[in-house]
């Protein structure tokens, strides 16, 4: 195992996790058990109510913990509006003293997060809004004066002080399409998140090669986060090659909790700490 590999918990803030107090308790227990991060999905609709707002909950987690990295995984600027995401991120970053990671992506509409509110649903539009929105977010964090009139956003802001802590962005994508890889290279990390399977060692190695072919320098720090289930606390053997994934380029393992599992089982996974080889 690469000694630099870090371990996070990745979960939806709904169903049994829909109570923000439960999520704060989970994060406190995760930190005590040796996890390096806690990352929350970002949705507004679900069949498994109640649902907690991730940004509000992340602020509470930031206040209750000392060392955990935390963030939305992932938040879609196309739905949330980039200036609002920038301000939410600024607040949580300062509250946590620089422990925020912003996972960003085009978002999905499987539960009606976009279509139920008349938001654009076609992928090309959401992708363009993501690219334009990220540029605005970074400019706001840098304290730059902004006079922007783009295809989707118009922003006029005076210069201000930059953020006291750098806010890293991980790009998420359900595919390794060249456009997704190019967007990821402009960020601090990549969260490949296919809908139908967990990544193999070979896929992670291919992703790393694609990132370098797209212009990622070999010496530049860059995270690749992989989700799945490897904890010994699960009730069946998951048999995940964590060592192989790390050697292929994974820098973060995200242990995936899910809302239809019993809360007691999820907490047992958290309490067991990060899986090891």
For the chain, the structural domain boundaries read: 6-114+166-271
CATH of the domain spanning 6-114+166-271? 3.20.20.30
First-to-last alpha carbon distance for the chain, in angstroms, is: 7
Whether 173 shows a pLDDT value over 80: the answer reads: yes
The mean of the pLDDT values for the chain is 95
User: How many CB atoms are closer than 10 A to CB 17?
Assistant: 24
User: The tokens of 94 are what?
Assistant: 């300062």
Q: Which of 224, 111, 242 has its CA nearest to residue 172? A: 224
Q: Would you give the DSSP letter of residue 17?
A: G
Whether 2 shows a pLDDT value over 60: the answer reads: no
Give how far the C-alpha of residue 221 lies from the chain's centroid of Cα atoms, to the nearest Å: 17
Please tell me the predicted confidence (pLDDT) of residue 276.
Answer: 83
Please tell me the predicted confidence (pLDDT) of residue 3.
Answer: 65
Helix (H) / strand (E) element for 28: namely helix 20-33
Listed range (91-100, 172-181, 252-261) with the worst mean pLDDT? 172-181
Give the Cα separation of 44 and 52 in Å (integer): 8
Strand-pair category, 146-149 with 154-157: antiparallel
User: The tokens of 242 are what?
Assistant: 């964590």
Would you place residue 1 in the very low, low, confident or very high pLDDT band (cuts 50, 70, 90)? very low
Give the Cα separation of 201 and 226 in Å (integer): 10
Q: What angle do CA 9, 99, 135 make, to 5 degrees?
A: 100
User: The tokens of 159 are what?
Assistant: 């210069």
Please tell me the predicted confidence (pLDDT) of residue 239.
Answer: 86
User: How many CB atoms are closer than 10 A to CB 183?
Assistant: 23
pTM summary value: 0.95
Strand-pair category, 102-104 with 189-192: unpaired
């Amino acid at each position: 195992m690469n000694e630099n590999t870090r371990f996070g918990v990745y979960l939806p803030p709904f169903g049994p996790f829909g109570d923000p107090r439960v999520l704060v308790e989970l994060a406190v227990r995760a930190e005590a058990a040796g996890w390096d991060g806690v990352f929350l999905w970002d949705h507004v609709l679900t069949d498994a109510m109640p649902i907690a707002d991730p940004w509000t909950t992340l602020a509470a987690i930031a206040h209750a913990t000392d060392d955990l990295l935390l963030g939305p995984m992932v938040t879609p600027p196309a739905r949330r509006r980039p200036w609002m995401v920038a301000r939410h991120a600024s607040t949580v970053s300062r509250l946590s003293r620089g422990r925020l990671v912003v996972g960003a992506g085009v978002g999905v509409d499987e539960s009606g997060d976009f279509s139920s509110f008349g938001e654009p649903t076609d992928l090309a539009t959401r992708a363009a809004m993501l690219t334009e929105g990220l540029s605005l977010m970074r400019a706001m964090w840098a304290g730059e004066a902004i006079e922007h009139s783009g295809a989707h956003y118009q922003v006029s802001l005076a210069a201000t002080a930059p953020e006291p802590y750098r806010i890293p962005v991980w790009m998420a994508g359900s595919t390794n399409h060249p456009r997704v890889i190019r967007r990821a290279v402009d960020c601090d990390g990549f969260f490949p998140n296919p809908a139908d399977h967990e990544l193999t060692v070979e896929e992670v190695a291919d992703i790393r090669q694609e990132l370098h072919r797209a212009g990622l320098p070999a010496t530049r720090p860059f995270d690749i986060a992989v989700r799945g289930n490897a904890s010994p606390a699960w009730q069946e053997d998951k048999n995940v090659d964590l060592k192989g994934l790390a050697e292929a380029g994974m820098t973060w393992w995200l242990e995936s909790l899910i809302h239809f599992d019993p809360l007691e089982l999820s907490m047992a996974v958290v309490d067991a700490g990060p899986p090891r080889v």
